[in-house]
Amino acid sequence: MKISILHGRLIDPASGLDACQAVHIADGKLVALGAVPSGFQADIRLDAQGQVVCPGLVDLSASLREPGLTEKGTLVSETAAAAKGGITTLVCTPDTEPVIDTPAVIELIQRKACQAAQARVLICAALTRGLQGRQLADMMTLQRAGAIAFSQAGRPFADALMQYHALGYAATFDLPVLLSPQDPALQADGCAHAGATATQLGLPGIPVVAETVALARDLALAADTGARIHCRGLSAADSVPLLQMAQRCRQSVSADVAIHQLHLTDWDLADFDVRCHVSPPLRTLRDRDALRQAVATGLIPVICSDHQPHDQDAKTAPFPATAPGISGLETLLALTLRLVQEQVLSLPEALARITCNPADALSLPYGRLAVGQAADVCIFDPEAHWILRADQMCSRGHNTPFDGWDFIGQVTHTICNGRLVYQRDQE
């Protein structure tokens, strides 16, 4: 299949390119930018006049639920949601049933993902067997089977010594580790930020130190072992100076923030809105603004969806008893573009946070438009107005607090590995 994308504004943050140029694709690869290659005859010509052409988005944290939790999501439904959102590369979390801690589970996911074929699914495998935090998983065997990184998916280690051994093993083989800084003892049974809103609603709180204590421990253990870590889902302003200090000390550390943390605060929990029950919890306006500033300066270089689809029953209970998480694939780009509209980031900076930067964090060859590389392309109309309707989402999980939000900027086409996997319906 040969595709030409014409007349669009081409933005490739990795190379600094921002110009009106054509893109030409053949055999799954990007073969030329600008002039048509000699002898090239496109099977599909896409007119991107007035639209932005950028690399396909890369999302470092997506719970795809299959195998085992198909009432919440399947590889078919969630990769379709990714394609609709302009995402071409997903890193799936290991908290499936069974857990991704054997080559057999990796092979199962890879086979089903190839059949779904609407987005590239990369595997983040379990650091410990069954995510129980007590015995190391066979990381080298899992890497040979296709795992590109390792994590606990927010589950705790049995103790700091177990984490030390896990990071030491990963460092020996230069395996990237994703860590979610949450101290289980301090988090306890909390479900909201420990502050005025939680007090008014009578909800058990999670203090900021539940994150900062864990983050300080993660950074210290990584420094001692030499492990390459990525800090997942920061939520607190007080985490920013800890991350800044680690980077000044030249630690091999990167970090991300979930896009909902850059738009919502604990005020949004008013009336016990269970759609805003997330982990880590939504915190204060001060925290949100500090995270925005860290993203703007590049201290936190990555934004992710932290996609966690749920069935309706999981969100139908008193607030503390509901499952945390937001179905976020279909709003990642739109909410990131809102940061541009609110002058937090320029458009190229915003696109870098969801394309080349997440790819670079795990040394992945995606998130850029380079001749000879995989043809992953997102085309979006930056002026299109649309309203999110939860009941019209592709994801099997309709749990989103952004239902009814009016957005500016909508994906019109998504190309993954040279295949047109999504095209917006023409109204």
**17-41, pLDDT tens digit by residue?**
999 999 999 999 999 999 999 999 9
Q: Which CATH number characterizes residue 207's domain? A: 3.20.20.140
Mean pLDDT is lowest, of 115-119, 289-293, 301-305, 400-404, for 115-119
245 and 127 inside one domain = yes
Same domain assignment for residues 171 and 45:
no
Is 118 inside a domain boundary?
Answer: yes
Same domain for 202 and 286?
yes
Which one from 12, 183, 306, 376 is the annotated catalytic residue? 306
Q: What is the mean pLDDT of the chain?
A: 97
* Domain co-membership, 15 together with 77: no
Do 263 and 338 share a domain, yes or no?
yes
Structural domain including 270 reads: 56-361
Q: Is the per-residue pLDDT at 427 higher than 60?
A: no
Q: What is the pLDDT of residue 426?
A: 60
Same domain, 14 and 60: no
123-162 per-position pLDDT tens digit: 999 999 999 999 999 999 999 999 999 999 999 999 999 9
Q: Give the pLDDT band of residue 285 (cuts 50, 70, 90).
A: very high
Percent of the chain with pLDDT over 90: 98
Whether residue 164 is found in the same domain as residue 37 = no
Tell me the average pLDDT across 3-16.
98
Residues 122 and 24 in one domain: no
How confident is the model over 60-93, as pLDDT tens digits?
A: 999 999 999 999 999 999 999 999 999 999 999 9
Residues 94, 37: one domain?
no
- Are residues 251 and 239 part of one domain? yes
Question: CATH number for the domain including 410?
Answer: 2.30.40.10
In three state form, how does the secondary structure of the chain look? CEEEEECCEEEECCCCEEEECCEEEECCEEEEECCCCCCCCCCEEEECCCCEEEECEEEEEECCCCCCCCCCCCHHHHHHHHHHCCEEEEEECCCCCCCCCCHHHHHHHHHHHHHHCCCEEEEEEECEHHHCCCCECCHHHHHHHCEEEEECCCCCCCCHHHHHHHHHHHHHCCCCEEECCCCHHHHCCCCEECCHHHHHHCCCEECCHHHHHHHHHHHHHHHHHCCCEEECCCCCCCHHHHHHHHHHCCCCEEEEEEHHHHCCCHHHHHHHCHHHCCCCCCCCHHHHHHHHHHHHHCCCCEEECCECCCCHHHHCCCHHHCCCCECCHHHHHHHHHHHHHCCCCCHHHHHHHCCHHHHHHCCCCCCCCCCCCECCEEEEEEEEEEECCHHHCCCCCCCCCCCCCEEEEEEEEEEECCEEEEECCCC
Task: Please state the domain count of the chain.
Answer: 2
- Kindly state whether residue 176 falls inside one of the protein's structural domains: yes
- Condensed to tens digits (0 to 9), the pLDDT of residues 216-265 reads 999 999 999 999 999 999 999 999 999 999 999 999 999 999 999 999 99
Token pair belonging to 261? 């943390």
pLDDT at 192 over 70: yes
> CA 11, CA 98: separation in Å to the nearest integer?
40
d(CA 180, CA 65): 19
**Residues 129 and 46 occupy one common structural domain:** no
- What is residue 116's predicted lDDT score, i.e. its pLDDT? 84
Q: Is 306 a catalytic residue?
A: yes
When pLDDT is averaged across residues 343-363 and rounded to a whole number, the result is 98
Please give the average per-residue pLDDT across 48-55, as a whole number: 98
Say yes or no: 165 and 296 in one domain: yes
Residue at 78 is within a domain: yes
pTM listed for this prediction: 0.97
Instruction: Report the pLDDT averaged over residues 328-340.
Output: 98
